[in-house]
A and B are shown apart, each in its own frame.
Chain A
Amino acid sequence: MDLLSVDGLSKSFGGLQAVNDVSFTVPKGAIKALIGPNGAGKTTLFNLISGVLPPDCGSIGFNGSPVQGLRPHRIAARGIARTFQHIRLFPKMSALENIMVGRHVHSRAGFIAGMLNLPFTRRERRNVRQKSIEIMEFLGIAGLAEAEATSLAYGQQRIVELGRALACEPRLLLLDEPAAGLNMRETGEMASLISRVRDQGITVLLVEHDMSLVMNISDEILVLSYGQKIADDTPLAIQKNSEVIRVYLGEADA
C-alpha cells in the first residue's frame, strides 16, 4: 500500500527544469531516501510535496487523494509534516513552546475562545503541553523544555525541529537533510531517532547527503540527477547501479 504516489511531476524556474517528469511511490511504513548531487532538484521536490511551490504539471496523491496545489497549511493538516534544510525554529520561544505550536492542527481554540480563556481552552492547553512534553521525552530532550529554542546547540535544534514536526502527528514525515551540520555521534543518534519514529508507524521521506545514514536506515532510495529520476531501488541495488556510480563519481576512465 503506497502512502505517497507522485506521478509525472515537473517544475521549472525560467529555463531551468528543476524537476522533470518524476514519478515514484513511498510505501506505508517505509523509510525512503532521496539522494542526488547538488542541484538535482531534491529540495524543489520536497517543496512541491509540502505545497511551498505549485507544480507545473503532474500529480501528488497522498493516502488516496490528490494534494498537489494545496496551500502548505492544508497539506500539513492532511498529515504531511516537514523539517527544513536550514533549521527554521521560532525565535523568542522555548523549545517546548516550539513543539506546542506543532500541536496546532490538533487543537481548536480560536480568537474568541482564546480571549475569553474558556474552561475548554484551558483544558486544551494543558493537553497540548502534556503531549508536547511526551514528545520531548520520546526524543530524549525533555531537559531542554524551558530553554530558548534558537539558543540551543545545532544538533539539539535539529531534534527540536523534528519534535515540532512529530507534534503534528503526521502520517508522512519529510526530513530535509536531517544530519546536515551534525557530527558523527549526533548523526548516529539522528539515524536511530528516525528509525524509532518509523517504528511508531510514521512513513519517512528524507533528503540526505550522509551516505552511511542513508544506507543504514533506508528501505528504498530514489536517485535524482538534473531533475530526473535515474534510479529507484533498495540500498544494495543502488550501491551497484552503474548509472548512480557514474553520476556520483564521474565516468570511469578506461
Chain B
Amino acid sequence: MKARHLSVAVFAFVIVAIQLATHFSGRAYYLTQFTMAAYYSLLIIGLCMLIGYAGQISLGHAGFFAIGGYVSAFLTTHDFSAQKSSALVSFLAKAGVLGIRPDLYGGELLTFQPWPACLIAVVAAVTIAAIIGGPVLKLRGHYLAMATLGFGIIVYRIVLATTALGAADGISDVPAFTLLPGIQVTGRSSERVMNYYIAWGVVTLSMVLLLNLIHSRVGRALASIHGAEDAAEATGIATATYKLKTFVLSAFFASLAGVLLTHYNGGIGPSEASVMKSVRYVAIVAIGGMANLWGALSMSLVLNYLSLRGYFGTYDDAVFGGILILIMLFAPDGLLRRQVFSDFKRLFSSGSGQGEA
C-alpha cells in the first residue's frame, strides 16, 4: 500500500515538473498536446485493465471513445428549439437540462448542458458495452479480437455516414464543459494550465481507483481468470460476469475520455473512431507491459505526446502498427519489464558471440 501511494506521488511530481518545465522554457503551448495525451491515457488505463488484468482483447475501444465524444458533441451543439413545443423538451428546459446559449452568428441555441450530455454519453457507451459484451466475451483469442474489431468498424461507418453527426467533417463548435463554477474543460489558451491540471487530475484519480481495484478481491479474481479460467470458475468466481464488468468499466473510461477530449478540442471527427486508433491503443497497452498500469500510462504519455506533436509525421499510424509487431515478436510481456532488459543484453551478447565465431 505504501508503494502504491509513493508511485502516485512520484507521478504527480512528474506532472507538475512537466508544467513547470514548459513554463520556464517559454513553451507553455506544449501543454495542449500533454492535455490531449492525458485524455487518451484515460482510455489507455481502462483498456489496460481489460487486456492486462482480465486477459480480454478489444480492438474496438476507439468505438466507445467515439460514442462518448459524439453523443456529448451532438447533444451540446444540436439546436432543440424546433422541438420547443414538445412536452419532453420543455420539461428538460425547465429542469435546466437544456439551456439557451448564443451561437456564433448572434442567434440562440437551445442545447443540452454539458453535464447531462456527459452523463447521457457515458451511460450510452456503458449500456452498449453491456449489451454487446455479453455475447462477444464468450469468444476467445482472435475471435474476440475480430468481433470487437467489427464493432469498431460499425461505429466508424455510422459516424462517417450520418449527416446529423457531420459525416466526414464531424461536429465542431462544441462548447466548454463547466465541471464546477470556475473550472472549465476548454481549449482556450488562457485556460491552458488549468486544463492541463484538470486532465491529469482526472487521470491520477482514475489511476488511484484502478490501483485500488487491482489490489482488491476483484483484482485477485481477474488475475485468477487470466491465469487459469477453469480453476477460477471452480473456486466460485463468476468468470463471465467479471469479464463483462471489466469490459463495461473500460468502456466507461473510454467514453469519459471521449467526452472530455471533445469538449477540450471543441469538436470531434470520424478519425477518432477509426480502427487504427483502436490498434494504437492496444499497441500502447502492449508496449507498457500489458498487466502494468504504470507502464501503460507512461507509454501513453510519451507516445501520444510525440504523435500529437507530429514527430511521426505522415507515418503516424505506421509507427504504432510497427510498434505492435515488434512488441509481439520480441517482448510480448511489454517493454517496461525488468526481464526485457536482460533479454536485450542476451540478444546482444549472443549476437556478438556469433560474430566472433
Chains A and B bind each other: yes
CB distance from B246 to the nearest CB of A (A): 8
Chain B proximity mask over A64-108: 1 for CB below 8 Å, otherwise 0: 000000011100110001101000111111000100111011011
For residue B353, CB closer than 8 A to chain A, the reply is: no
Output the residue of A77, A82, A90 with the most chain B CB within 10 A.
A90
Q: Encode B231-275 as 1/0 by CB contact (under 8 A) with A.
A: 111111111000001000100000000000000000000000000
A22–B25 Cα distance when bound, in Å, is 80
* Residues on B with beta carbons closer than 8 Å to the beta carbon of A50: 234
Task: Give the tally of cross-chain contacts (CB within 8 A).
Answer: 103
A109 in contact with B217 (CB, 8 Å): yes
A108's nearest neighbour on chain B, judged by CB, is B217
In the complex, identify which listed stretch (B78-86, B90-98, B218-226) lies at the interface while the others stay far away. B218-226
Per the bound structure, the CA–CA distance linking A125 and B237 in Å amounts to: 17
Contacts of A104 in B (CB 8 A): 217, 220-221, 235-237
Nearest to B245 among chain A residues (CB) is A111
A235 to B4, CA, bound (A): 56
Check: B230 CB closer than 8 A to any chain A CB: yes
Contacts of B212 in A (CB 8 A): 114-117
CB pair B237–A114 under 8 Å, yes or no, is: no
Q: Are A81 and B216 in contact (CB under 8 A)?
A: no
Q: How large is the interface on B (under 10, 10 to 19, 20 to 34, 35 or more residues)?
A: 20 to 34
Q: Which B-chain residue is minimally distant from A98 (CB atoms)? A: B224
A227 to B238 Cα, complex, angstroms: 30
Question: Which of under 10, 10 to 19, 20 to 34, or 35 or more describes the interface residues of A?
Answer: 35 or more
Pick from A73, A91, A108: contact of B227, CB under 8 Å: A91
By beta carbon, the residue of chain B nearest A113 is B216
When C-beta atoms are compared, the residue in chain A nearest to B212 turns out to be A117
Chain B residues with Cβ below 8 Å from A21 are: none
A residues in contact with B235, CB < 8 Å: 73, 76, 81, 101-102, 104-105, 164-165, 168
Which residues of chain A have a CB within 8 Å of any CB of chain B? 50, 52, 71-73, 76-77, 81-82, 84, 88-93, 97, 100-102, 104-105, 107-111, 113-117, 121, 124-125, 128, 164-165, 168
Ordered by A's residue number, 20 sampled pairs between the chains whose C-beta atoms are within 8 Å are A52-B230, A72-B233, A73-B238, A84-B230, A84-B234, A89-B227, A89-B228, A90-B224, A92-B223, A93-B227, A101-B220, A102-B235, A107-B217, A110-B217, A111-B245, A115-B212, A115-B213, A117-B216, A125-B216, A168-B235
Binding site for A on B (CB under 8 A): 209-210, 212-213, 216-221, 223-224, 227-228, 230-239, 245, 249
